[in-house]
Each structure stands twice: as structure tokens, then as C-alpha cells.
Amino acid sequence: MDQKKKNIRTLSLEELQTYFATLGEKKFRVKQVWEWLWQKHAHSFEDMTNISKELRATLTETFSLPAVQVDTAQYSSDGTVKTKFKTHDGNFVEGVLIPAENRQTACVSSQIGCSLSCKFCATGYMDRKRNLDFDEIYDEVVLLNQVAEKTYGKKLSNIVFMGMGEPLLNYKNVLKAIERITANDGLGMSPRRITVSTAGVAKMIRQLGDDNVRFNLALSLHAANDQKRNSIMPINETNNIQALIEALNYFHEKTGNDITFEYILFKGVNDSIKDADDLIKIYKQVPVHLVNIIEYNPIDAADFEKPDRDATQKFMDYLANHRVNVRLRISRGKDIDAACGQLANKESIPATV
């Protein structure tokens, strides 16, 4: 990408209108170009076939249009599709399509690598190279929607920001991407079908409340006391559980949106009845919609193990008996390293999408 040229997708509709007015172009040309950028998903100005060659040449000389491309794809035996995307500057990031009977969910990334160091997550062992720009996140969703339509004949129904990176440490780009994804002149998706997952950045959870966002929030809790959470999620040292409880309550008070707890079970670490009791105490202090118990997915860099089925069931039954709305989230795409905590840009096969 030519660094001297401004990315045309950073322009608002009003700014684009002002620019076209300086060219003496008719107003309907603005609408045509805007549609190519946000609804027809042009990857270059040459794709904009209903505008003149002269105007396309002017746009090419003036602006850049850095689009994310599909690099490779992997197909799991359970129907999950992991796609590796290539950015304009040669970086890679992964997204996952998770199909189910009544939904098509896109799991998208917000950073190239991650600045946190959660001990159980493959991305946490990578360096954070940079944040994804809002239009790159938008492209991820567009491309995963194309995978869904081609593979299953259905559009995306849900989006979860649970891929690579911490969304709340790329706050402005994530919110701007969601604004475009939900806009009528964008993808037109309902914000109620979008969930942003955070490892727990208390200040930014409060900011979500102040910004009165309309999407749902998930907290990756994974341990219900500070000592254990510090040991597996270093972010807890500066964002402890009490601070997160207060921030989540503030968020809910401001927005009324659903809050989910994500809790990966690790054998001998956080799977005891005492751990369940600690989780119940937190659950009672926050208006939590649901607790997702997640199967641990092994990664090369860590030596955690998942509990056996009986231990998992015992933990869940204890929660349910104490009136916790709990569900086991079966991991998908484990055979292609596409499951929760496994995204790390490993080698994969050439894409056919």
C-alpha cells in the first residue's frame, strides 16, 4: 500500500461527498462508490465497473484501497472452517466459521498477535504486531460470510470477537468495525447478534457502558479467585476480579445488554467444588446471562490438561444446583487448531474459497 495515499474507507460519507463535489462529479456517483466500498466489497477501484475509467483512474491516483485477502483455509471434520487472512502489509490473522443447525457464527480477530499473555492461549505466546484497522475487521466478516454462503448456502447469523487479540485494547477500531457491520449501508447485522469477548480490561468495560453500545459482552473469567487468575491471566494483576465485577455492573446498568462468563476448565487448577463455590459468589454479584463452561484445547506451548467427563459434569451439576444458568460449550475445529485458544497462524492448505 502506498503510505502517501489516504485509505478511501477512512472517509465518512460526508467527506466523500465533499471530495466528489471538488471533482464536479454528480451526487449519485458518491452513492455508487460508497456501495462498492461497503456493500459490494470491491477489492480495487478497477472492480467498480459502473463508474467511468477516468474516475477510477482519479481515485486510484488519489486513494488507496487496502483490502484483506484470503490466504489459506482449513476444513474441520465437524464442519468448522478456519481461514487465514493476509493484510496489505503482509501480516496474517485467522478467523473461524462455526456452523450449526440454526446459526452461522463468525469468530473474528481484532489484533495481529496479542499484547496479553494468557498461559493457556496459543495467541498469547505470539507478539502483538499491530492492531487491525476497522476496515480490516470488516473485511474478515465479509470474507467469512462468503465462506458461509459458499459452503453452507447461508449468511452469517452471529459474530463473536473471540479470535486473536484483545478487542478492548483495540477499542476504536472494534467499535468502528461494528458500526459498519450493523449499518444499513454496511452489512446490516443486528448488534444483538454480536458478542465482544474480553480478558477483562475494567476501564474499557466501563467505556462500553458510557458509549451505550448495543452488542453483548463476554468476560473470559477462567478462574474465580485473584491468586489463580493472576497465575494464568497476568492481566488480572492490574484488573482484579472486584474491579471487573464493578465494571460489569456499570456496563449492565448503562446498557442492559447480556453478559456471559467464559470459564475454561483446567484439570487440577480450577475444577474443584471450592472453585465452583468461588464462581457462584461472583455470579451472584453480576447480572450474568449465562456461564459457558469450555473444554480446554491443548496447545504446544502449555501443559494444561482438561478434566475427564465425570469431573466436568460434577462441576456443572454443582453450579446448576445453585441456580447458575450454565452450559457446556463443545469446542469445534480442534483437528485444525481452530478451537478456543488455538489460533496461532500455523501452516495450512491453500484456500478454495
DSSP string, 283-310: HTTTT-SEEEEE-----TT----PPPHH
Angle at 161 between CA 175 and CA 352, to 5 degrees: 115
Instruction: Kindly report the backbone phi and psi dihedral angles of residue 66, in degrees, each rounded to the nearest multiple of 5, phi listed first.
Output: -75, 110
Asked whether the domain spanning 69-336 has the same topology as the one spanning 6-64, the reply is no
- The residues spanned by each domain of the chain are 6-64, 69-336
* pLDDT by 10s per residue, the chain, length 353: 445 899 999 999 999 999 999 999 999 999 999 999 999 999 999 999 999 999 999 999 999 999 999 999 999 888 999 999 999 999 999 999 999 989 999 999 999 988 887 877 776 667 788 999 999 999 999 999 999 999 999 999 999 999 999 999 999 999 999 999 999 999 999 999 999 999 999 999 999 999 999 999 999 999 999 999 999 999 999 999 999 999 999 999 999 999 999 999 999 999 999 999 999 999 999 999 999 999 887 777 777 888 999 999 999 999 999 999 999 987 666 665 555 545 454 543 333 33
pTM higher than 0.85: yes
Which three-class secondary structure state does DSSP give residue 186? coil
pLDDT recorded at residue 218: 97
CATH node for 69-336: 3.20.20.70
Residue pair 182/188 in contact (Cβ under 8 Å)? The answer is: yes
Nearest to 75 by CA among 145, 147, 154: 147
CATH domain 6-64 topology: DNA polymerase; domain 1 (1.10.150)
Q: Which residues of 13-49 are buried (b: 16+ CB within 10 A; e: fewer)?
A: eeebbebbeeeebeeebbebbbebbbeebbeebeebe
- The number of CA neighbours under 13 Å toward the Cβ of 319 is 28
Residues involved in catalysis: 94, 340
Strands 130-131, 111-112: pairing kind: antiparallel
Angle at 148 between CA 143 and CA 85, to 5 degrees: 30
Whole-number Å distance between alpha carbons of 75 and 122: 19
Whole-number Å distance between alpha carbons of 117 and 160: 20
How far from 246 is each of 1, 252, 260, CA to CA, in Å? Answer: 43, 10, 15
H-run or E-run covering 84: strand 81-86
